[in-house]
Every structure is written in structure tokens, then in C-alpha cells.
Structure 1
């Protein structure tokens, strides 16, 4: 049984009559025989039960049993911290028999006390303390008790707790205590008392049952001082028949309550019946006015149907008006459809024109690339021509020198021929040696001059390239400085006033806004500039969306055509003509958006105004333009042609701020570049955000300026280095040239001397020199001829390139003119589309008015239909439709009804009350009387059902008591026979007495004795047999007994222990925890598979030895 049961001690229980079933309890309303009255039948029935129990116990005692622990409910472990005398104690128990042994004072009883408290019992149940704080160890503040319950098989929430449920209770001296119910893993599952109660009920632990945990005091009282009445109370409490009887008595008390209610209701019904009969008599007296009232009913019927007829006539007129309005709307719908088709047509033309402009712009790019390539070819060819001219001048110089040397050699030959006529006095060898040395020096100096010339050319080329880079870097520094000044100016504008922030929309926008505020508008104040009310969620799309929405962002939105004309006049008056004015109708429209997986321009914007949203949809199709960051992915999406997608914008990662427009559709599909917006942002954002971006921009530009200046300084240093190197190389070349000229002069002098000293051999040599110089001269002449031919070729190539450049420039100019014409056509298409949008808006405004009129007529028709329906229903409730004459109008009928009402009131005044009031009073009293009768009948049924249930339950309760009594009698007799005692249990259920009658074996001839006449050991043995017999009737999975052998001698203690162990082995699945101060091992009891001996540590006495007197 899972209901919560009252806890009580044996000595504090209710009177013994409470446990006995009296005859009146079993038969509340009719006399029935009790169990005791039917002595013959009961004796035979008890004998039959006794025989069955005898056979069952004999079979259980003889048949070998395999010990199988209970699936759940047994104690696996108890752990104490700072509890009573234990600072820390942990005890593990087996699933069957457990002996807890230890010296007196070792804290054995504290284990059962902790078990009782941890499983939810109150402190008073343990008889060890008045409150929970008294169980905390002296000197400590907190105590913890933990019990591990076996939870296998069909255990409690096994999927959550596992095979062990850990119940932990913590309490402190402040009176605060808490529960933690954990799984086997240690995870806390719950901390509520309800969860613990559910566990106890599921496992039938019965911790408040005195037979489940028999504490030391209760065990001592039960074994030594318990009376027959105490034993009977203990029996009834232990097998829970006492609690079940209390529940049945609650049912009986409810019957008494119902009896009292029924008595009161009987008097009420008599009064209600008298009132009903009096009203019925009075109601019969007013029957005399029925004819007059029937006439009223006929008129009321005509009046009801006359209202229906008049309502139907009015409804037909309203429906005709609605029909006319719907015809007008159909015409406007047709016009609106045509206007929409025109807008769609112009949308396609605008798209085609924009595509043509963008295509033309993209077509010029290859030409410009070709122009750049052609310029590079011209520059390359011109450089070759310049080098050719420089090489030509060098060849010409060498040829002049070769001619001069040739002429000199020819003169030397002539001179030598003249000198040969004179004699040779000889210093020829010395002169030749000196000349050879000078020739070697000349070769070295010539090589040095040539190397210096090459180095000078290289240095000059490097210096020229560095000067170009220096000029580019100088321009970069100036440009960066200018950008930095502009960024600082922008930051200053952001921090000045609102007018400066509005200047991005136009110079005179602040004044225009002031004028708008002062002007009276028909449909409401215009909205604008639009950019102030549009916020971009992700700034990476800023430049692309700003470019595509540029016309709308700086514009205004008027709410009527009249307001639009007035606003356009104001924009022209304030020189704000560049700010477009749009008109939008407030007719509800449905967006045709792509699936939510695509980010559209509309979804990328934060817009709180429906008029702005409608304008952006009409002008830029923002709801059907998706944003895809990756260009390749965007093309792949557009190739799939998703629903409600017309354009796709993607980011050009190779340029800063530019992007692509990926289109779909016949004739206009393709990819066009988008040049990102480079001006100041016009979409709304916070001043703090703009300021932060401006400051970040300034910091970036400062870094760029510093880098540019550093680069410029590096190039300046390189320029100085090139100048110094050139000056040094030029000086070295000049010196080497001077030394070369000097050596050549010395060689000429030696040649003159040799000419004087040599004979014909010298003449031959000079002639060979002439021949060599002639060869040199011819070689240089050939080089000059080749140089002139190459120059002619390069000149012709340059001329051809210039002609090609002129043709390409003409073609580019032609494309530019074509692009201008396409741009003009694009602008014209946009204007035509705007005019079509205005026409559409005008139709929408008319349609809006017509829709309002239709809604009004529709509402009127619906209201009149509902009114007609209600009138018809009311009329049908009055009666079927009568034949109405021509004068049967509601006005005429109401006049006749007023006349009849006056006559009826006169008659009612004579009666004393109106017919309706008398009829209503009669109906109310009749209804109250019938309701009261039905209520009494229902209560009588409930009373009868409770009585029947009570009798059935008490009959089963008596049977349970009888069966458990018979089982306990034979169990006691069987256990007593273990020592060859003849024992009986005598139950007197009327007086609530349980007597033990025992006949020791050596007194077999004597009559059975009362337990008080037995010796201490025999009495304790008998009480143990009684306890084991009662335990067999319990459903709890464990039994605990403290100091069961306290009054036994050694012989009885050994026999009792053996008896308990045997009984425990016969009780399959039950756990026993017995506490004894004796060492059970000396009694021949050792640990086995089903017997565990748990020894307590010796107590700490903290005493010193007393000094004996001499």
C-alpha cells in the first residue's frame, strides 16, 4: 500500500477497541453476522487455512531454496558523517542476513536511527531525540546520512537512477535539512521530499512501520514488557490493517455527512413543493386573458415578418449600389492592369537601355586596353629609335677617327719613304720595347674608358627611372595629403550641426525641410530625404546599393498627387531640382519575394515606413534583387532561375567598392559591372557610427601619407646617390681619357723616332698599318650603313603605329558618342517609366477611393444581411410567415400592439400581476422543485454506493485479518517447534488482545502457560518466534531488529540465531539487519554467501585508568 500512514509508538497507541471491528462497524445499516458469531463456519474455514499453511511451510522448510536477492528495496550501504557518535562511518550490507556486532557504546543503534531518518521519518519516531539537531555529533555543525538502495530488475526509474538509488539527507544545527536523491553515477536527480516518498511507496519500504525497524527501546519493550494489548497493536500496525481500517472509517464518516444533508434537503423539498402548488393555482387564474394575448401574438408574428420584408427591400437597394460600384472598380482594375503592363514594358526598356549603356561602357574597355597596349608599343619602338640614333653617332665617331688614322698612316708611309734616303745610326731596339709597353698601357686605358662609359649609361638609365618614380611618389604624397584634408573636413562636418549632415542630399536641403514643416499638406507631410529613413544592416554592400538606389535616396515621397506638385514647386524654388519627388498610393500591396534563404536588397535594409518600402519596390524592384557576395555563386544561382528573382548584385573582389549586376531573362541576361558609389553615405546611420568610420578613415589616410612620405624620402636619397655616382664616374672617365690621350701622344713620338731609325722594314710595317686602317674604316662604314637601314625601318614602324593610334582614337570617340546617345535613351526611358508610374499611382488613388466605397457598401450589405438573417430567425421563432396585407407595415402593427398592451395592463391590474410574471414565477418554482428532487436522488445514489463499497471493503478487511492471523498462528507454532516447544497465538479481535501460549517440551503433560510464567530465555525465544511470524505477513523488503538477544542466555541465543537465519533463508528476497553486542562467531555463525557479519569499531572512551587504593 502506497498511502502515507500515521506513525505511532506502541506505548502511545489508541485504545484497544480501535483495532477491533465491532458489529456496528461491519453493519452500519443492517445487522450482519460477525466472524466471531459464525464460530462453526469460521472454525472449519480457519482449519482449512491452517492446513494449507502447514503444508506450505513444511514444503518451504524441507525444499532447498536458492537465495535470490530482491530486485529493489534492500539496503546496500549506509554512510554517516558527524552523526551521533560517528565522525565518519560506512557500512555495507548483504542482500540477505546481516549481523551488526560491536561493543556497547560503539554506535550500533545509530545505524538504524540513521536509516530511519534518511528515508524520511521524523526524529520522534526513533525515540532517540526530540528534534533533528540532537543527532549531530557534539562539536559539529552539519551531519550527513546516506543510504544506498538496490534498484535492479523492475526498479524505480531505472533508466534514470541505474542499479542503485542514493538517498542523502543533510541537516545542521540551524534546523535546516535537505535531501539529495542521486543516481548510481552520483548525479543529483532530485532534491524534493516528494521524489523520496514516491521511491518509498514504489518499494514498500514502510520506514514508519515499527515492525520494519524495531529500535532498541521498542525491541526491549516488545521482548520483555509488552502486554497482550501491545502485541495486538503491534500486529495490527505492522501488517497495516490499522491504517486500512482508518481509511474505511473515513468513508463511513462521509456517509454520515450525506445523511445529514439528506435530512436538510427533505424539508427544503416540502417547502418548494408548497410554493410550486401555490404558483400553479395562481397561474390557472389568468387563463381568462388568453384570447387577448393570442391576438397580441398574431400581431407580434406579423410585426416580426413585416420587419423581415422591409429589411429585404432595403438590402436589395444596397446590393444594387454595390453592384454599380463593383462595375466601376472592374473598369479601374482593367486600367490598372494596362498601366502595370506599361510599367512592366518600360521596366524592360529601362533594363535594356541600362544594359546597353553598361554594355557600351564595357565595350570601350577592350579598345582602351588596346590603346594602352599601342602606346606601350610606340614607346618601346621610340626607345629603340633613340638608341639607334645614339649608336649611329658612336659609329660615325669611330669612322672619323679611323679615317684620320688612315690618313696619318698614309702620311707616315710617305715620310718613311723620304727618310730612307738618310742613314740609320741605331737606337731602334730601345724604341720598340718602349712602344710595346705604351701599347699595353693604351689597351688598358681604352678598356677602362669603355667600362666607365657603360657604367655611366647604366647609372643614367637607373637615375631616369628613379626620377619618374620620384615624380609619381611626389604626386601620391600630394594626393594623400589632399584626401587627409578632405577626411578631416568630413569629420568636422559630422561634429558641427545637423545642416552639415544633411548637405549630402543637397546644399539647400535644410531650408527645404524647414519650408516643408511650415507648409500645410493635403494627405500628410512628405517623407524625405528618403536616405534618412533607410538604414543598411551590412555596410559591405554600401557602395553597390548606394549606386543602384541613388535617385531614390536623395528624393522625397508625396502622399497625394496634389502634394507632389506642391513639393516639386518647393524643390525648384530652393534649387533642389536634383532631388526627385515620388508619389505613392497607400493601397495595400503584396510583395512577391524569393524564398527566405536569399538575402534581397529589401531584406538588407531596415525600413520602418511602408510608403518608402512601396516606393523602393516600384522604382528599383528591391524585393526581387538578391545579394550574393561571391560572383561565381551569384551566377550559379541566377542560372537556376529562382522564383521572384530578377537581378543579383555581387562584389568585385579585385576592386574596392565595385561590383557586378547579374541579370536573367531573354534579351537582357548577362553580367554588367557596377561602379561603386564614392561619395558620402546617404543611407541613415547614427552620428556615432559615421564619426567612428570618419576617424578610422583619417587614421588609415595618415598611415598612407606616412608610407608615401617615407617612400619619397627613400627615392630622394636614391636620386642623390645616383648624382654622386654619375659625377664620380664622369671624373674617372675624364681622367682615364686624358691618360689615354697622353699615352697615344707618346706612342706617336716613338713612332716618329722609329721612323727615323728603321730601314725598309719600317716602311713595310707602315704600309701594313695603312692596310689595317683601311679595313677598320670599311668596317665602321658598313656599321653606319646598317645603322641607317635600321633607323629607316624603325621610323617606318613608328609612323605606322601613329596612324593606327589615330584610327583607334577615332573609333573610341565614336564609341563614346554612341554611349552618350545610349545614355540619353536610358534617361528618356526612365522619365517615361516615371510618367507611367504616376499614371499608375493616379489610377491607384481612384481605385483606393472606389475600394473604400465598395468596402462601405459591402459592410452595409453584410450588416443588412446579418440583420435580415437575425430578423428572419427571430420571426421564425415567433412563428411561420403569415399573409401580410398592404397596410401591414411595422408602424401600423406597432400602433395596434400598443392598444392591445393597454387593454392587457388594465386586466393585469385587476388580477394583481401580469400574466408573464405569474407564468415566469410558476416556471421558476417548478424548475427549482424538480432540481431539488434530482439533487436528492443523486445524493441517495451516492450514499447507497458508499454503503455498498464500505460493506464490501470491510468484509475483505475481515478476511485479510483472518488470513493473516491464521498464517501468523501456524508460523509461530512452526517456529516454536524448532525447539520442540508447543506454541499458540490466541487472537481476540473484539477485545484487541494477542496472547502467547507456550508449552515447553519437558512439560508436555502440563497445560500451556502464559508468556509471563516463562523463564527469561524462553520468553525471549517465544517473542523472537512471534516477531518472525509477524514479519512473514509484512511486504517490506528489509527488516531491522536492535539487540534482539539482550535477555537471552547462551543456549537460547544460539538457538534463536539459528532460527532467525533459517527463517531468513525461507523468506526469499528479504533482507535482515540484526544488531547484537555479542560476537556471533562464538555462537557457531560464520559468514557465508547469504550471511554477512558487520563489526563495529571499538568505542573511544577517552578515559584513563583509575588508581587503585592501597
Structure 2
């Protein structure tokens, strides 16, 4: 909203104005006003003073200053001379140039008929000239549109779209406002100029861009434009600032006097100020009505206060009875203190009794602790005996080896037995065949009579000698073979003993290597306790702490959080859990690659990475009964997260531990199913549906770092143990090496003897072949002497004999081998029995020690239960004592507080009665008081509150009414003063308008009057156009004037109204269309003189006439528009109609 500034003296007087000869006639120019009521409501009979002092009636003070005709004349007489002197003094004053609020330049793009047009205006007077149709009026329309004016006020269109050049989609108008001087608008932001651009399109969109002089965009809000116009007092919608030719002609000739009056009020902004005053007056009257309504409540409030006062006086009679109740309350307070003291003393006695029980329970705790220590010592002693017992792995291994040898020997003996049966059958058949051959030969020989008996006897003798030689050679060969077999047996025995000695030496050497490795690891662990888990483990853990992880920081090695309770399970758990002990765990899978790279960089490829979220689930449901030893119960795990990982990975909560396979199987049978690990490295399984299986577990290799896990002793003790093991292994190795050397020498001797026997066997075999050949030759000769049948039978018998000898020789060899194996088997059985006896002895001893350990553990558990029982009892008793002491302390504090509060309430009461007695009497008194209050409807306190509240309400309403009435009266007085000022402004402006109008008419030799009727709100013009007006005595109505006279009168009226407003812009369109040359020359000179005399005002005047005949000064700038283009073809509206 524009500033409400009424510019009574907005322009300096024109120094170039000439004196008017007919000035005396203006004194009667405003004598036509009548003091009749306005159309707005007014209370009859109320004067100005009554309107100020009355609160009961609604008074219209808007027309309080409407005076009569005499008053107007007196006002003109008092002020007319001063105004005329100012007009005369204009010739002595030159108007200044405005520092802000004027237009420096304007630029239009596609606006109306202009594709692009730019003007740079002068600071005072600007004429825009050009032929009709050149687009002169578009400048004023552009100024109105760019500065936020309404499109209808331009008279050129009803909407922004009508201003866009034909064939274009949008138009731009840019205005540069001067922004200098002390009253510049936001000079730090905008600088010396403000550039305002308005863009609008055919689609109806419109926007502003408000920039500084250097092109920086400051705002695009219309509110900012309104603030700029308000600051610079620019009113583009004011018809006096921008007046088109049509509006001026209609205003002068066709408008009603009431319309002219409204035009006058709007142009001077008096109408806006009047409307706001009317709104204030309506609010004042509304407030008066509300105050009158509130006054109606005062009698009711006074009656309420009086009624409450009467009831309060009646209630005051109960004060004596209340005083008695107060005394009883005091006694009751000290009765409570006495009761609390008795309760406190009783509680302190209870504390003393409870404290006396503590030493007795402490003695029982000490006794139970001693028993537990004794039982623990006994367990440790038996466990030491069990550890000293060692193991029988070597006996089990030897028994296994003996059993394997015995099994092989049994297989050999069974094979020998089968071979013997086959040989017996062969001998029986051969003997029968030989007997049959002998009978046939005898029979055949008996039939023969030969004359070669002597030769046959000689052949038979040689044949018998050859047979004896063959038998002797066979005996010699058999003796050599027997010696060779005996020597072979000795060789085998020596070889077996040598291999056993070599195995023992090898095992001792491996043990030495293992001991050296473990000694090195123990020494390494002295400096690095993390050595059992991998290389450079300390640096790995430091890097893990420094690195950033997606999940929790990885934890590991897991073995750091695990300790073995019983060392007899160490070897087994190293084998089964050793790999997990060096593992690491992380909660987020995305951390695994980074952790794996860290292990690979340190060559710890053996370390496993376990992905597991932190979930402390309850695993108790999967555990067996408490009397069954599981892997979990054999371990002590300090981290719950590690505990759950081992449960998930190896089911340690349900895996049973047992000393041997049978014990494990028996335990699982009792549990109906499950898995057991046994100390003899067996994995025993029992299934729910029945049946089971046993699998041999692998032992870890010598020198494996896992040997350093689950060690009970400290590092120094373990190092000493390994050094002792090394000494024993070296002694064993030296003894086994010496035995190997001795057996090697013996083997060499036996081997040499075996080679000698081989030579002898070859020689005996050669003799046997020679004697057999001789015997065969003699036999052939004898056969030749025999008949063919006897010879054939003899040959068959000899073949049977040879076969029989071969079978007998094989049987003899089989018998010898069987005897040797039986002898060896007996030795093996004897040795196996001895080994089994040793194992049984060890098992019996270990069973006894185990039974002692279990019994000692049972005793320790009992002692531990007793200790825990008495410790818990002591803790409970101590807690009870502490609770009693806390209660006693609380009671003591309460007693102290109650005593202090009782002293604050009243003085001590000696020997107060019991609480119940005093309470009964107090309740009786209070019951009586309540009965009185029931009858009265409220207590004394409530009555006091009610009286005070009623009085406060009455005082508050009376005070508010007085305050609001004073404020409302002051507001009405203020409005009266403001209306007085408003009427005074209107009178001054109207008088100035009259005189200035007459002054400007006198430049043409005319005489005229402006007749104001402020009561009826009308404005009339009267003009006389010749110097004989006094003789004719008739004023012309504007509608009867010629075109030139009418235009000149319009200019005079407009200049007189311009003299009354403060806007820095004056715009007038084609003011001289109907003027003749004389009127135009005088009007032009008059307007230029008025503009030069105006201070800080800018004039933009549009005319289609040339300016050649007008004298122009340095303050005038003429802008010529180009002639309209011709030959454009068909007009746009023709196309539209088509």
C-alpha cells in the first residue's frame, strides 16, 4: 500500500508564473457548499463535544468538522492570500532534480506494436512526439505494467496478453529507477539504480526480476516491488499520476460532479485515509458496545461477593472448635514421633541380634574352607600320582605287534596242516603202487630162467653200491640243508632284532628331534606366549586393534580364552581342538578377506577364520546329566563368545570324554545316543535307532606346535620336562645304536656262515647228482638184461620210489618249518602274555588311582558345596544385617526428620498419648467440623478462598472496564483529532486547487472556478473564455466548450491537482489533440514553466504535434517516435474475423 502522504505543499511555487489580473474574483469561488448530512449514518443531535464524552451512544464523528458556508469563506479569507503569495513567489524558485523515484530509462521488447524500443528519460521534462499509430501511448502503458499497475487502468486492454505484440509469445518491459541520495532504497544492495523487469506470456504467466545497477538479481517478489514504490511514493494506479487522453476528456466533459469529487479524493489519497479512519471508528464503536455489555455483569458480581461474605461470617463461628482440632494435631504429631522412636529402638535391637549370628556362621565358613582345601590337596596328590603313572602306549603297540606276528604264524601253521594232509595222501598212494610193482616183478622174474645169472648178480651188486652211495649223498645233502635252515632262522632272528633296534633308534631320534623342537618353542614362548598359535602373532593382534572393521573387532586366537582343568585329556584335546585354538572369529563376513590377507602376509596359512555373530544362546538343553564329563566341563572358557563358537564348531557341550573305548561306549549306552572321545584316541558313536561305531583318531605329529597347547605347568617347568625327555631319548638312542651295531656284526658273521653252507650245499648236491647218474646208468644196464616186461615194471617202480623220496623230503622240510614256527609261536605267546600282564597291572593301578581321584573329587565337591552353602548363608546373613541396618538408619533419619518437622509445626508435647487415641479424638472433632461445613456447603478455608476470589473478580472487571473505557475514549479523541486534520487537509488542498486552477486559466485570459461541495461530495467546474465575462455574467459548462478550450481546461485542472500530490512522476497522454495553435502554445509554455518550478518531479508528456514552435530549455528532452510502418498487408483483426 502506498504511503498515506497528503502533499499540501508538495511542489514549490512556479517562479515563472505571471500575475493574474482577475485574482480578486477567486474569493467567491467556493461559496456554493451546503452543510447537509452525508449519506453515511450519523446520530442526530450530537455535537462534537458530546461525541467525545459519551460512552452510551454510537456517534459518527466523521462529519463533525463539516462547517457552514460562512466558515468556508472565512477559511478562504484567512489562507487565500498566503497561497497567492506562494504562487507569486514561484518566479523566484527553480525546482531541483529528484535523487530517487524517477525513471532513468525504459526498454520494451515485443510490447504492443514495438518489437524493441528504448527511451532514456531526462530528470525533469520529457516530451514523446510522433504521428498517430507510432506507439506513443505504449510508453505509459509499459510504465504502468512494469511498476505493478492494473492493466485496466491503462485503457488499452483487459489483460496482459493483449499487450504482447502480434505473432510473439511473450513480452518484456524493463524500467530503471533512480536510487540516489539520503533516502535511497537499500543502496547497499541495489546501488544507484534499480532495474525492474516484468515478463509475461500468452499463456498467462507473469514474473518480475528486480536487479541492482550491476545486474545482480536481488528479488523476484512483487512484495519487493510494492516496497520500492511505497518508499519512493510512486502510485501508478493513481489517475492523477498517469492520465490518458480518453480518461482526461471523459473526466472533463462526461463525468458526474460526484465522480469528479471521487477522482479528486483518489488522486490526493484522501479517500484511502478516510476509509482507514472509518474502519478505526467502526472498531471503536464495537469496543464501546462490548464495554456496555460487560457493565451488565457488575451487579451480579457484587451480589456474589455479598453472599460469600455472609457465609464466611457464619463459618467463622467454628474457629474455636478448629482451635481444638489444631491442638490435637500438635499432640498427634508428637505421638507419631514417639511411635517412630519406639520402632527405631526395636529395629536397632534386631540389628544387634543379627550381628551376633555372623561370627558363628563365619566359623562354619572357615571350617568348610579348610575341608575344601584338604580335599583339593588330596585331589592334586592323586592327580599327581596319575600323571606320574605315565601311559602304556608302548605296551599297547608291542602287544599289537605280537598279536600280528601270532596271527601270521597261525596262518602259516594252518597252511602247513593242509600241506601235510596232501602229502599223507600222496605217500599212501605211492606205497600201494610200489607194492603192486614188486609183486608183478617177482612174478615176472620167477617165470624167467636166464643163463646170465652171474652177470645179473654183478649188476645187482653194483646197483646196490650205487644206491648206497646215492643214499649217503642224500644224507649229506640233508644235513647241509638242516644246517642252512638253522642258520637262516638265526639270520632272521638277528635281522628282526636289528630292525627292532633300528626302529627304536629311529623313534628315539624322532623323539630327540621333537624334544629339541619343543625346547626351542618353549624358549620362544618365554619371550612370546603367543608362539603356539602362529608366526608374529603379537604384531597381528596389534594390527587387528588398529584396523577398521565392518563388525566387531575380530577375536583370537581362541586358545587364549581356553584352559584345561585335567591334564589327562591334554593329548586328546590337542588332537581334536588344536586347530580351533589358533582360529580367529569375526562377526561380519565382509571382514574375512582383510583378515585373511593379514594372515597370508605373515605366512600363517593354517589359521582358520570363523564367521559367527554374537549370540549368547542357552545351550544347557543339549548337555548330558551333571555326572557325565563332557569336553565343555573339562575346559574353563573365559569368553562367552568363544564358548558359543566352540559349541557351534565341535559340540563340546554334548561330546563325552572317557578313559577308553569301552568306558565311552558304556556311557553312551546309558545316554542312549551321542559321541565320545576316549583317551586311547577312539571316537565312539551311539545312534538313536540303535547300533554304533568306533573310529581311530589321528595323533598329532611330533614337533607339531599344538603340543604346547593345554599345558598345566608354567613355561619354565615345561622346559625342564622337555629337557628331561631329551636326556631320556638321547640315552635310549645311544643304547639302541649300540645294539644295532652289535646285531649288525652278528648278522655279518651269520651271513658269512650262511654263504659257507651254501657252498657245501652246492657240493653235496653235485655229489648227489653224480651218484644218481651212476645209479641210473647201472639201472639201465640191468634193465637191458631183463625182459621187456620186467624192465618196464622196474622203471615204473623206480619212478614211484623217486616220487616217494621227494614227498618224504618235502614232508621232512614241512615238519622242520612247522616245528620252528611252533617254537617261535610259543615264545610270542609267552611274550604276549607278559605284555598283557603288564597292561593289566597298569590298568589295575590306573583304575585304583582313578577311583581314588574320583573319590577325592567327590569329597572335594561335597566340601565345595558345604563351603558355598555356608558362604552363601554368610552372604545372606550379612545382606540381612545390611538391610536391617539400612532400615534402622532410615528409621533413625525418619525419626530425626519427624522430630525436626514436629518442632517446626509446634513446641514439644510432654508425654503424648498413643497415636490411635489422639487420632480418634481428632477424627471426632473433624467430623463435627465437617458436619457444620456440610450445612454451610464449604469449609472455612474454602469460604475464605471464595470471598477472596469474588472480590478479586469484581475488582478485576471494574479495573478492566475503567481501563478499556479510558483507552476507547482516547481512541475516539484521537480519531476526532485525525478527522479534524483530514478536513483541514481537504480544505487546504481544495483551496489550493481552486486558486491554482484560476492561476493557470489566467494564462489564456480565461476565468474559471472549481466548486467543491464536501457535504454532498461533488466537484463542478465553471469556465469563462473571454475578457467580457463580467459584462455577460455567465460561466460555461465544460461540455459546451470547444475542443481547444476543453483541452486547455483539462490541462489547467490537471496542473492544479498535480500541485496537490507528492508522487515524483507525472504522465499525460496526448493532451493537445483538440487544441488550436494558440491554446497549445500557451499550454506547452505553462506546463514547462510548472515543471521547471516543481521540485524533484519528473514529467512525461505525449503529443502527436511537432515541438518546433515551442521554446525548449535545458530541462526539456524530446523523444521522437518513428513513423508507423506501412504496407504490412492484412490486419490482424481481419484474419481473426475470418
Query: Where on the TM-score scale, by shorter chain, does this alignment land: which range?
Result: 0.3 to 0.5
Which has the higher Rg, Structure 1 or Structure 2?
2
With normalisation by structure 2, the TM-score equals 0.47
